[in-house]
Structure 1
Amino acid sequence: MKVRTVLGDLAADQLGVTDSHDHLFFRSALLPGQELDDSEAATREVQAFAELGGRTIVQWTPYGLGRRAGDLAKISADTGVHLVAATGLHRAEHYPAELVDEVRPELADIFVRELTEGIGDSGVRAGLIKVAGGFHVLDEHARVVMVAAAEAHHATGAPIAIHHELGTAADAVLDLLVDESGVPPESVILGHLNRFPDHRFHLDLAARGSFLAFDGPSRANNATDPRLFDCLAALIDAGYADRLLLGGDTTTARARAATGEGPGIPYLLTGLRPRLVRYFGDEIATQLFVANPARAFVLHGTVRE
């Protein structure tokens, strides 16, 4: 099984310790003045992660939000850390309205092209489709984008990762992607579940076979950080340790460790991993950081080269 990184396809068992959801470059009108667009700072952040034993970072920055794919390739080559880039489309409010109107009719084609040919003229291929739901429901934009993502998955085998607004509507996403559109549940990664710390909801989602991503700590999510280990414990105790992923989700310059106030990407290994080992044991920590990402981010089925 292979994972598509910015430097080419990689055997899944070579990912090593993985940050399953983060951002090195990200620009949104919703976060003015907090853009992640400094290549030197991004390199320092990745290098710090590498020095702690980190081997892979999965980028969830989708189409139109300043991915800087060429810089991702250079950072990967310079640091030795594997990077996975994303195609896909975020919630509509992250973009100018005219851009959303322009790309909507050809979304599936855009996603497939970026997965198989490359992002722009960078030659860097995406390995992930990132889309977004709404608050407790899926609006028209979300449904259109997710149907396009399902088409792109069926054409390429790429996994689909979902931003859930405040951690909600993951059940509606599975209804649309899995039940209606035929995407295998193991190719779906449900993000931001830490933002909606309802144990019963998480257990219901895990029973449907998808991966569950708890992608704090983040300055935007600090109110739910104290609930993270309770959420993980409920799922681990129920036998779902093999469905869990962890990421940092650094979305602002302030949250970057290298040049901001942090905690940044390295905190996953300096802060969260030691606590995981202490509470759940080294085997569980390795499963969440190594074994599960090696299954979650693979290209399934017939892969278009």
Structure 2
Amino acid sequence: MSGGGSGGSPAVRTVLGDLDPAELGVCDAHDHLFMRSRLLPGQELDDVAAAESELRAFAALGGQAVVQWTPHGMGRRRPDLIALSRATEVHLVAATGLHQAAHYAPEQLRDLDLAQLFVTELTEPAELTEPAGPAQPAGRAGLIKVAGGFHGLDRHARRTMTAAAEAHHATGAPIAVHHELGTGALDVLGLLCDRLGVPPHRVILGHLNRFPDLRLQRQAAESGAYVALDGPSRANHATDHHLFDTLAALLEAGHAERLLLGGDTTTSAARGAPGMPYLLATLRPRLVREFGADLPDLVFRTNPARALAFA
């Protein structure tokens, strides 16, 4: 399968084109501006004005980039991402890939060549009503999002991860993984890295702080994969109240360079929660007090730039 990777120096693929990783800036490494799921009727994230307001609030605090993990078929609104990035001057990274099968109607998944779909969305611009301009193709995805199950991988997960690995090898794109309630990270690494040959440092493991098993989290970080801790103020998950213990354990074990942080707003009901601004207004000062001034720059700037760069 032909690819279309960066073809030279590493680059982060944003919806406005490829970017020198050094220019990515302060980054929310896992969030959603738009999303819809048949499992969450009436809770769609589909309000462009609300998304712009969230981005502007994040930018006012120094935020410069947001990674939208919404994959194929779940209401990504790629043309709106392009317009929002231009309007707010916030770099936006979009996802291809697939979530768990339960999020889709069966006909959405039927007869799909997943690897080809992922490669196409990583390398070809979105269809737009207005020209993107001559500089770079707009609307391309910058990472591949896939999902595991609760404490394991079902047939759908194995199919999507196999396709993600093929697309990674064709393009160099990073792979981001949803872990159901934070579980199954070692199963994911066993499949993607051990069996399918994806280098661990090209894998981002999401939601691991929802299952506060410090030994498991250390093992995941020891593999060389990135560990994305996310979901501020999700009262029904083990996120905020375990976050600093998780960070302390991973820092003590020497894994500072493997850490990412994100907000992971997923429904309209959560839009009124602290959201993206919380990361910089509340969490960043606490990180400085607890761990020193260098950690926020590492987890919000340096690590995302490395994790998101196409190989």
Q: Do both proteins adopt the same fold according to a TM-score greater than 0.5, normalized to the shorter chain?
A: yes
1:204 and 2:219 equivalent?
A: yes
Q: Of 25, 28, 34, which aligns to 1:25?
A: 34
Give 1:85's aligned residue: 94
Does the CA-based 8 Å contact 2:233-2:239 persist in structure 1? no
1:64 and 2:73 equivalent?
A: yes
Q: What is the alpha-carbon distance in structure 1 between the residues aligned to residue 97 and residue 66 of structure 2?
A: 17
Does the CA-based 8 Å contact 1:119-1:126 persist in structure 2? no
1:150 and 2:161 equivalent?
A: no
Identity of aligned residues (%): 64
Shift of 1:217: 1.0
Q: Of 115, 127, 136, which aligns to 2:122?
A: 115
Shift of 1:121: 5.2
Does the CA-based 8 Å contact 2:210-2:237 persist in structure 1? no
Give, as a single letter, the amino acid of the residue that structure 2 aligns with 1:262: A
Give 1:274's aligned residue: 285
| Helix, strand or coil at the partner of 2:81 | helix
Q: What is the alpha-carbon distance in structure 2 between the residues aligned to residue 294 and residue 235 of structure 1?
A: 20
Q: What is the alpha-carbon distance in structure 1 between the residues aligned to residue 80 and residue 200 of structure 2?
A: 32
Does the CA-based 8 Å contact 2:230-2:239 persist in structure 1? no
Q: Of 98, 110, 115, which aligns to 2:107?
A: 98
1:265 and 2:276 equivalent?
A: yes
Does the CA-based 8 Å contact 2:209-2:238 persist in structure 1? no
Give, as a single letter, the amino acid of the residue that structure 2 aligns with 1:195: R
CA deviation digits over 1:204-237, x for unaligned, max 9? 1111110000012153644432011100100001
Give 2:144's aligned residue: 129
| Helix, strand or coil at the partner of 1:129 | strand
Q: What is the alpha-carbon distance in structure 2 between the residues aligned to residue 25 and residue 98 of structure 1?
A: 22
Give 1:250's aligned residue: 265
Q: What is the alpha-carbon distance in structure 1 between the residues aligned to residue 143 and residue 156 of structure 2?
A: 19
Give, as a single letter, the amino acid of the residue that structure 2 aligns with 1:78: A
| Helix, strand or coil at the partner of 2:159 | helix
Q: What is the alpha-carbon distance in structure 1 between the residues aligned to residue 100 and residue 175 of structure 2?
A: 15
Report the aligned-residue RMSD.
1.2
Q: Report how many residues are paired.
A: 294
Kindly tell me: are residues 221 and 214 of structure 1, through their superposed partners in 2, closer, same or farther at Cα, counting changes over 3 Å? farther
Kindly tell me: are residues 239 and 266 of structure 1, through their superposed partners in 2, closer, same or farther at Cα, counting changes over 3 Å? same
Q: What is the alpha-carbon distance in structure 1 between the residues aligned to residue 29 and residue 235 of structure 2?
A: 18
Which sections of structure 1, spanning at least 5 residues, go unmatched?
A: 301-305
Kindly tell me: are residues 120 and 92 of structure 1, through their superposed partners in 2, closer, same or farther at Cα, counting changes over 3 Å? farther
Give, as a single letter, the amino acid of the residue that structure 1 aligns with 2:155: E
Which sections of structure 2, spanning at least 5 residues, go unmatched?
A: 1-9, 130-137
| Helix, strand or coil at the partner of 1:262 | coil
Q: Of 53, 76, 84, which aligns to 1:75?
A: 84
Does the CA-based 8 Å contact 1:218-1:255 persist in structure 2? no
Give, as a single letter, the amino acid of the residue that structure 2 aligns with 1:264: G
Task: Between 222-231 and 142-151, report the one with greater CA deviation.
Answer: 222-231
